[in-house]
């Protein structure tokens, strides 16, 4: 089936370092959503991007939607231990009718 690919699968960073996760689809996405899941918790919605080339910021988090609406990224500046968790992108690719989640990037922040 149609997939939304996400890399890397795991990322370990030292506290204070930056972090980026990338999301790619082979088909155009109508929009892209990002969720964060803390260890042992459930996914929590962070943001939605709709427009081609859109960039949104939430404090130290920067979200981008590609010009072709096929890729997206989440960048965290100066990571903190509170950033630990798995970050998922999700979109509706091509002719799919429902949201498809990426496999997630598990972020570990070492103090």
Partner 1 sequence: DGGITQSPKYLFRKEGQNVTLSCEQNLNHDAMYWYRQDPGQGLRLIYYSQIVNDFQKGDIAEGYSVSREKKESFPLTVTSAQKNPTAFYLCASNRGNQPQHFGDGTRLSIL
Interface residues with partner 1 (CB under 8 A) are 1, 6, 9, 31, 33, 41-45, 48, 88, 98-104, 106
Give the nearest distance from C-beta 78 to partner 1 in angstroms: 26
Question: Whose Cβ is closer to partner 1: residue 57's or residue 80's?
Answer: 57
Question: Whose Cβ is closer to partner 1: residue 3's or residue 77's?
Answer: 3
Give the nearest distance from C-beta 16 to partner 1 in angstroms: 27
Residues 66/54, Cβ–Cβ less than 8 Å: no
Give the nearest distance from C-beta 87 to partner 1 in angstroms: 11
Residues 81/111, Cβ–Cβ less than 8 Å: yes
Cα distances (Å, whole numbers) of residue 81 to 11, 20, 107: 13, 15, 10
Question: Whose Cβ is closer to partner 1: residue 99's or residue 110's?
Answer: 99
Residues 8/21, Cβ–Cβ less than 8 Å: yes
Map residue 20 onto helix, strand or coil. strand
Question: Whose Cβ is closer to partner 1: residue 11's or residue 77's?
Answer: 11
Give the nearest distance from C-beta 70 to partner 1 in angstroms: 18
Terminal Cα distance for the chain, rounded: 40
């Amino acid at each position: 089936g149609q997939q939304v690919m996400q890399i890397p699968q795991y990322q370990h960073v030292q506290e204070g370092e930056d972090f980026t996760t990338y999301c790619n689809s082979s088909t155009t996405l109508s929009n892209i959503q990002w969720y964060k899941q803390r260890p042992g918790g459930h996914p929590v919605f962070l943001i939605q991007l709709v427009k081609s080339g859109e960039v949104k910021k939430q404090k130290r988090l920067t979200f981008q939607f590609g010009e072709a609406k096929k890729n997206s990224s989440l960048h965290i500046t100066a990571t903190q231990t509170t950033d630990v968790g798995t970050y998922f992108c999700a979109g509706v690719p091509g002719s799919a009718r429902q949201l498809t989640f990426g496999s997630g990037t598990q972020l570990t922040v070492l103090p």
